[in-house]
Amino acid sequence: MAFWKPGTAAPQLGLERPTGLSETEAGDTIGYNPHYRLPFKQQKLLLPIARARENILYALERYKTVVLVGETGSGKSTQVPQYLHESGWTQGDRVVLCTQPRRVAAITVAARVAEEMGCKLGGIVGYAVRFDSRVDEGGSRTRIKFVTDGLLLRETLYDPLLSAYSVIILDEAHERSMYTDVLLGLLKKVRKRRPELRIMISSATADAETFRDFFETFTYKGVSSEQSEGSNHDSTIVSITGRQHAVDVFYLSKAPRNYLRSAVDTVLSIIESEGRGDVLVFLPGMEEIDEAVVTVKEHLNALGGMENVVLVLPLHSSLPHHLQMKALQPPSRHVERKVIFATNIAETSLTIEGIRFIVDCGFVKLPVYDVRTGFESLVTTSVSRASATQRAGRAGRTGPGKCFRLYTEEAFSTLSAHTTPEVQRSNLAWMILQLKALGIDQVMTFDFIAQPSAEALMRGLELLYALGALDDRCRLTPDLGEKMAEFPVEPRLAKLLLASFDFHCTEEALTLVALLQVQNVWTNPKGRESRTIQEAAMAELASRDGDHLTLLAIYREWEEAGRSTEWCSEHFLNPRSLTRAREIRGQLRRYLERYKPKGSVFASCVDDSEALRRCVLTGFFFNAARLKSDGRYYTVRDGHPVALHSTSVLAKYGAPAEWIVYNDVVITSEPFLRDCSRIQPLWLMELAPHFYAYGGGKGTSISTSTNIC
């Protein structure tokens, strides 16, 4: 592999050190220690943001909205809340709130700030994320709070004016997560009712004007206009210049054939020929990460003894929290180098101790929603230039670094500047439900910073109406819609859980929903022999009724085996995913306790497989497909050709199922259905009579009818 650094005379071969790297080289020659730390006080003063402290504080006194722009690592997330605390913004029971798009970031940034301030996490500094929080009892002593943006959105349901907060910082706004985008619109409204509230939007890229202009304009009946003279200086931009440490970027001189192999080779070259420092590798998804971890470990093993000094770890959102933390914390003394294979969970906010080398494969898995087909799927796509810059920035946080991009410089220049905002590529049902619960009925004219398409909004309304969350005047239904809005899972799963009381299968529904929240419970074994053993294990646990019952069987057997890791390895199951599902199950159970209908009990349907499948259908009746005489499946809703995913037990065992319900679609060469169960066509009309009707003609034919608000 040939990497080269732009600006140097000629492409470099291998990982040879290019010219002009004095900073990095000095690090090597004087025995640079990536884990060395100055005391906090000095570290804080050295951060680029320290020079902008007074500007930031002045801007917040003077302007209602401040957009703070600065390179990653300059100190935005950790320092600004402390500056605000020191300068009185938390006096009089007020709280400074900082949102993060990811839960792991909210937790780790809170921990870091607590450490810098020399206090216990959960005291003056706390955090709250879905299903987990550490704030002072009653929140009375917590003055700086970190939360996920999704959680703040939910908080607006209970306190629409967010009255506890003096300053709300929307951190990592450049990520353009759906919740941050919606919060921007909501905060613009709140600001009108609370003139004393200050909003800070913190972003790593140069789209500061977009944020500032959004707050400078107001929308009246869908018409956007500049504010009248005198009031149009509500917002300002503060830029932080400079970055803490240099990161040298290297490109491949030729595109690799296989980015996974190229990532593994680059890691091995770094281990072999680069100086000290940990390595962070960005890969698109859990499957690639698991494969890369195994391959690198095998290579290290073959080198003899290396596996003890190089620690290879995965980092992605389906890992249980303690394993995510393992990747973030410094390794034990005998470990010389840590190599972390991560998804874009590590792209923003996280500081992983000691990282000095980045390997960026150039791809990311993004959820994409196709309005036409209603399919939501994770699509592997090229990163944006903004993302690539963020990734590189992970290396310069605690010392000088290097970033190896597994693509050419030319390919970099053709990448799109920014990732499409999530609100423009997502199923909007959950977001609409939250807005409705906040009393924002006119979602079509809501002031979005990036407007989603009218079609996507219509689809969202249609889904909520069909689920019974909205009435025919598009208002939330009190018995269902209002409860669903408060549930911490997407509307279809919330409906499934709430309906489980009617089907007397609440225990099973809880297990199922928890398992559907984690990725692959099966491991991805290498080699034909292992795959054959896995097939046998799958056959043993498979239910002829489909994947939902199979998932339940897996969970039940795992519990019966005492949640043993050995049992998981024998069956090629992923103990991490099962453990995470168990945690989520416990949390969902507590929610369901609160929202269960009066007089209902947590029943178990034991072996009544029909009850659970009917219950699944109450949430997922949209997702029905039928096997036709040409041997292909077609969606019942709009006749779109689809196929069973190879992992579905219905594709492997027993007689083919004619009618099925599915949870998920994976689009590769064609749409493949995942998590499928056999159903009876009559159940569709029984459980969703407003959506399905007999089409007449020969055989069973069903058509759909929706009433769109």
Which residues form the interface with ligand CDP (CB under 6 A)? 47, 70, 72-79, 108, 112, 244, 351, 397-398
Residue closer to ligand CDP by CB (options 263, 352) is 352
Name the pairing type of β-strands 125-129 and 144-148: parallel
Residue closer to ligand CDP by CB (options 398, 434) is 398
Residue closer to ligand CDP by CB (options 75, 671) is 75
Rounded to 5°, the CA angle 510-514-516 comes to 120
Residue closer to ligand CDP by CB (options 108, 500) is 108
Residue closer to ligand CDP by CB (options 111, 660) is 111
Residue closer to ligand CDP by CB (options 171, 360) is 171
- Sign of the Cα torsion 265, 352, 206, 154 reads positive
**CB of 604: closest distance to ligand CDP in angstroms?**
43
Rounded to 5°, the CA angle 605-610-613 comes to 95
**CB of 361: closest distance to ligand CDP in angstroms?**
22
Cα-based distances in Å from 138 to 85, 142, 414, 593, 595: 19, 9, 51, 21, 22
Other residues' Cβ atoms within 10 Å of the Cβ of residue 302: 9
**CB of 171: closest distance to ligand CDP in angstroms?**
7
DSSP 303: T
**CB of 70: closest distance to ligand CDP in angstroms?**
6
Closest C-alpha among 261, 269, 272, 280 to residue 392 = 280
Contact of 244 with 42, CB cutoff 8 Å:
no
Residue closer to ligand CDP by CB (options 118, 230) is 118
Directed axis angle between helix 609-620 and helix 506-517, to 10°?
60
**CB of 585: closest distance to ligand CDP in angstroms?**
30
Q: Return the SS3 of 102.
A: coil
H/E element holding 171?
none
**CB of 78: closest distance to ligand CDP in angstroms?**
3
Residue closer to ligand CDP by CB (options 177, 351) is 351
Residue closer to ligand CDP by CB (options 268, 358) is 358
Q: Return the SS3 of 590.
A: helix
**CB of 219: closest distance to ligand CDP in angstroms?**
30
Rounded to 5°, the CA angle 29-34-36 comes to 105
Token pair recorded at residue 336: 């010389």
Contact of 539 with 553, CB cutoff 8 Å:
no
**CB of 109: closest distance to ligand CDP in angstroms?**
6
- Nearest 10 degrees: Cα torsion 441, 445, 451, 454: 80
The alpha carbon of 68 is separated from its chain's Cα centroid by a whole number of angstroms, namely 23
**CB of 263: closest distance to ligand CDP in angstroms?**
24
